[in-house]
Amino acid sequence: MKRGLGKGLDSIIPNKQGTIEQKQEKKGGEKTEKLAGRSYETLVDISEIEPNGKQPRKKFDEDALTELSESIRQVGIIQPLILQKKEDHYEIIAGERRFRAAKLAGIKKIPAMIREYSPQQVLEIALIENIQREDLNPIEEAQAYQRLIKEFKLKQDEVAEKVAKSRSAVTNSLRLLKLSKKVQEMLMEEMISSGHARALLAVDNAEQQYLLAMRVFDEKLSVREVEKIIRALGQKKEEKPEEPLKNEIIYKDLEEQMKQLLGTKVSIRRKNENQGKIEIEYYSEEELDRILSYLRK
């Protein structure tokens, strides 16, 4: 089931039924529908169109593009692209997938709606369109939310409202950016699922997180199995190495002095800074008598 459009998109893209002035102009056999204000729909030469370098979506399924290009060859582009005019070209606001497929299909002119947008509106439209079509991978989606928050000073609840999602959904999405870069790549490549990724957030060590993610991929572990492994890791308390006692060198020197005095091996066993025991070794009754005589003096 497709998700509905965010509220922000309806306010950014005019409703054609209410805003189109039925002015049809023939220019070289082409029809142009003019929109009230700064918007209009027309056919644009595909060579004059360039993708938006800041659009949220970075990865495109080549097989899916080929299928879409075949469909375009047969029935054409049904839904116009959304573009804005730059100095010497048009920039894609929404519809890059259709643009790529049209190029594959050898289409020369593309139907498009031309309009001016603010940088924030450009990102919102591209984000909402991709979310509606479920085209973004989880990391691309999270990065787009982060851009809206950082670049345009939006709060998480404001972002949630614009994309028609709950605030918790946006928060959970943003948490994925705390994963190590290697694990983020695995999520983008669909080697692990979002459920696996959220479970791995409980592992603080980046290398351990990556190794566990690789185990998920290799062993086809379920999310529940991953959570069980992580709980087991948490229960294993690492043995803390004993802190070296202070003045260790001084006590070694005392051992050496006593060895010289008694003529045998002496060990000082310390329990803490103030307590311990002294061990004096002897190897015959005669040596024991000698040591005792020395101590009596």
CB-based contact 49:83 (threshold 8 Å): yes
Q: Compute the radius of gyration of the chain from its Cα atoms.
A: 36
Chain centroid to CA 98 = 26
Q: Which of 12, 227, 215 shows the shortest CA–CA distance to 122?
A: 12
Distance (Å) of CA 258 to CA 248, 270, 280: 16, 16, 9
- 30 flagged as catalytic: no
CB-based contact 276:269 (threshold 8 Å): yes
SS3 content of the chain, % helix, strand, coil (to 5): 50, 15, 30
Q: What is the 8-class DSSP label of residue 149?
A: H
Question: In the numeric block, which tokens belong to residue 192?
Answer: 């692990």
Identified catalytic residue from 41, 96, 124, 141: 96
Rounded-to-integer distance, Cα 239 and Cα 229, Å: 19
63 membership: H or E segment, kind and range:
helix 62-75
Rounded-to-integer distance, Cα 204 and Cα 215, Å: 17
Rounded-to-integer distance, Cα 107 and Cα 121, Å: 28
DSSP string, 70-118: HHHHHH---SPEEEEE-SSSEEEEE-HHHHHHHHHHT-SEEEEEE----
Q: What is the 8-class DSSP label of residue 280?
A: E
Phi, psi for residue 290 in degrees, rounded to 5? -60, -45
Q: Point out the residues that are catalytic.
A: 96
